């Protein structure tokens, strides 16, 4: 999974193509629980580019998007928000895939 490196990169990616931004942090235990299933989720949903967003590095972006719990997912298609799965609760592989299928 690609890691977001700048706000310029976020704005560019958000505006062009299909992206799912995963908001997370190294210290988040609920985020680490889903780490082993993320490669399979990415492979099964290859029409999207998945991007890891470190909540601590991009706290202003989190505030702008209303992402106050992690792990959370926000999907964009050519600048349009397709959907979001934002909460502080632990997420299962099935819940994440259900979110993506509903986009």
Nearest partner of 46 among 17, 7, 67, 25, judged by Cα? 17
Catalytic residue among 4, 28, 74, 100: 28
Phi, then psi, of 23 in degrees rounded to 5: -90, 125
- Positions of E strands within the chain: 2-3, 18-24, 49-54, 72-77, 80-85
Residue 97: CB atoms within 10 A of its CB come to 15
Beta bridge partners of 50: 20
Is 28 labeled as catalytic in the residue annotation? yes
Cβ atoms of 51 and 22 closer than 8 Å: yes
Catalytic residue among 4, 20, 22, 31: 31
Residues involved in catalysis? 28, 31
């Amino acid at each position: 999974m690609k890691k977001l490196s700048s706000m310029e990169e976020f704005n560019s990616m958000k505006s062009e193509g299909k992206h799912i931004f995963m908001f997370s942090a190294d210290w988040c235990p609920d985020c680490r629980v889903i780490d082993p299933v993320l490669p399979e989720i990415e492979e099964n949903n290859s029409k999207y580019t998945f991007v890891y967003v470190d909540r601590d590095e991009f706290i202003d972006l989190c505030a702008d998007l209303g992402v106050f719990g992690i792990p959370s997912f926000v999907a964009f298609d050519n600048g349009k928000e397709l959907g979001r799965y934002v909460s502080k609760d632990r997420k299962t592989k099935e819940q994440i895939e259900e979110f993506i299928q509903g986009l």
